[in-house]
A and B are shown apart, each in its own frame.
Chain A
Amino acid sequence: MKAFLAAFGVAIVLAGAAGAQAYHRFWANCNYDAPTFMTTMTRDAAQGYANAARYEGYQWGGGCWNYDDADSYPYDAPGDPSTHGEGGDCSGLAFKTWRESTDDWRDGRYYWRALRNVHGPYTAGDFKNGFGAPNHVVAKSSAGVMDAFASSTHIGLIFFRSLYGGDQIVEAKCEACGTNIFYRTYRSDPSYGGVARWGWTG
């Protein structure tokens, strides 16, 4: 009986460790379902979608999260897409929130659910330049709710304006920052440009 218990203990620990290693690949929880083609896309639905991604972490090159309000792997190595952790990166969050297609020539509306693992074809710099059929450049002073500010390294979505002239920005900025709403002054920062999605319906 002693031998059974000792071996059982060792085995369950080892099996658990192997499982933990597998589970560390958060992407194992994600799916590759087809998006839902939509005829509508409202700014407040987009606010709700991006807001729900708060607390879910950041993953360089990522675009998959659940809704448990925690980053399952908060200490992945920054800038390493192979860690397959939870969360989108900045451009992945913008792509999914803006319901874009993986084909940059399509400007339709494609609803990607949270656990659908997709980053989209655009970098922050692509967004800044208005690259892709659904995207375009706007004057920063006219950018509004769920438009965005993008630099060559980052994009953040405007959650709402603010009294002091900055903006509440929902963004996935870095591994340590996670995804959240921060007060930012990108609007007046020359390294950022204003970008927007065509096709809002309300």
Chain B
Amino acid sequence: MRRPGIRSLAGGAAGIVVGVIGGIAVTSSSVASGPTPAVPVLDAVHVSPLLTRPGEPVTLRYAIVCAPRDDGQPCEGSGSVYVRAGQTGLFRQLRLKRGAESRQGRYYAELPSEIASSRDGFSYYAVLRDGTGGVATTLPAGGEAAPQRSFPLGDATEVDLGVHAFGADRAPDKRVVAAPWGSEPGEAGLAGSRELGFGGPSSFDVAPDGTVAVLDQVNGRVEFWSHGGVKATNVGVSGGLADFALEPGGTMHVLEPPSRTSPAPVLRSFRGDGSPRWAQRLSDRTWAKLAVGPAGPIVQQQPSEQWLPVVGRGAVFSRGAQAAGGRPGRPFANGREVLVERVGAGELRLAELAGNEVRRSWRIASVTALGEVQLAEPYGDRLVVVMKTYTDDRSDYAALMLDRGGVAAEFAVESLEWAESAPLARFRLAGSSLYRLGSTRTGLFVDRFDLEVSR
């Protein structure tokens, strides 16, 4: 090694000085300017009057959600609703009015009675602006190709549930899965802490042979529980509270929530061995429920409040194609859609649709408040509905078997939900049984309730 000369030492010292100054300058400028503030996209929210009663006046209400103003005031939004009587034909423009109150949505349009009371219902979409003139959004995103559709409830079967009697829950016919918390085979992953709350396996599904598949996203796997024991298949998921659906051929779908690094929800599809098939961002920003429709996975999304297909004709849909396929109800293999609308504190409206025609409908009223509808699916000539009923400190699930005469059978299921799961993933209907995902302080379970048993 050669001894450094004076020129080398001087050059090195100069390099250090210039380098330090340069490094500080680079990072200082990053800190000083910070990331450039971005204007958040214009958002909007609206809940459609999906099923209307005869003579019921209809006001369409929208919340236009703008970037926050420096003066703290709400934006001066504007917009129009394009509406038509029935489900086809030309739309007519109605300008939205701006109200004094924003609790239900500040912007509104009252539908003319000839549209609101049309025997074929009505359909519409809105174009909303933030008031600055530059930003607009269409709701639902499918616009005139996939508008909001509303139908007359018609001669609905009326059901009065009265006051719910807590504590009269039905015991399950069988506990088909019982897994203590942990990461070993046969255990179920638990995430979180006492301070932040706990999340357990977030969803499940049931195969035609009765095998129960539990998405154990905490451990990055799906556990298959059958009479032969439990087998696990690893899947590449983020670990967030995801929904899950299993196709009869073994294909698995995992609907991921937004996360710290992926602000939009993503549907991931896996082969039976856990290898990834594809992943696709959803059209909307928020999802409520994943299901498998006649053509593949479908997702109930917000703000469109529609069921959007993610796959069709053998291809994975772009966001635009998803939006263009939006429908108001969940489609089933019998060719019908089931429409669900929770109204107020204690009312539920349901309808079975063939094409754009209501075939059967129900209006359920309850003195005890009704919560979310976990499941509404055809079962033979009946419709099985599972929904929460609650007070401020108690809750149960109410399971109803509906037919044209009203409630053919019903029972209550205790809500045992110590760990959080995906929002509408607590129940599955498979064969002639209803399955429920639950948890306690000690672990996860899946219970089976047979629907053919007379009691």
Contact = CB atoms under 8 A, between A and B. Distances in A.
Interface of A: 1-16, 18-20, 22-23, 28-29, 36, 38, 40-45, 47-49, 51-52, 54-55, 57-58, 66-72, 74-75, 78-79, 99, 111, 113-114, 139-142, 144-145, 151, 153-154, 159-166, 168, 174-178, 180-185, 187-190, 193-194, 200, 202
B16 interface: yes
A75 to B, nearest CB: 8
B106 A166 contact: no
B371 interface: yes
Contacts of A174: 192, 196
Contacts of A72: 35
Interface residues of B, number: 99
A28 B31 contact: yes
13 contacts: A8-B22, A22-B31, A40-B73, A44-B74, A45-B68, A47-B63, A51-B65, A79-B193, A160-B303, A175-B260, A176-B238, A176-B240, A178-B258
Contact of B15 (A4, A145, A202): A4
A189 B39 CA distance: 35
B334 interface: no
Of the candidates A41, A111, A202, the one having the most CB atoms from chain B within 10 angstroms of its own CB is: A202
Contacts of A111: 72
Given A11-B16, A176-B239, A164 B285 contact: no
A115 to B, nearest CB: 8
B324 to A, nearest CB: 20
Contacts, number: 287
A21 to B, nearest CB: 10
Interface string B376-402: 000000000001111011110000000
A95 B367 CA distance: 34
Given A7-B13, A141-B369, A183-B286, A193 B392 contact: yes
A75 B74 CA distance: 34
B37 interface: yes
B287 interface: yes
B100 interface: yes
Contacts of A162: 47, 288, 302, 305
A176 B260 CA distance: 5
Nearest 7 A/B pairs, CB to CB: A15-B23, A19-B27, A11-B19, A188-B371, A7-B15, A68-B35, A165-B342
B38 A163 contact: no
Given A3-B12, A159-B45, A11 B38 contact: no
A48 B104 CA distance: 15
A151 B289 CA distance: 24
A160 B63 CA distance: 9
A151 to B, nearest CB: 7
A15 B300 CA distance: 50
Contacts of A190: 390, 392-395, 415
A156 to B, nearest CB: 11
Nearest to B348: A165
B373 interface: yes
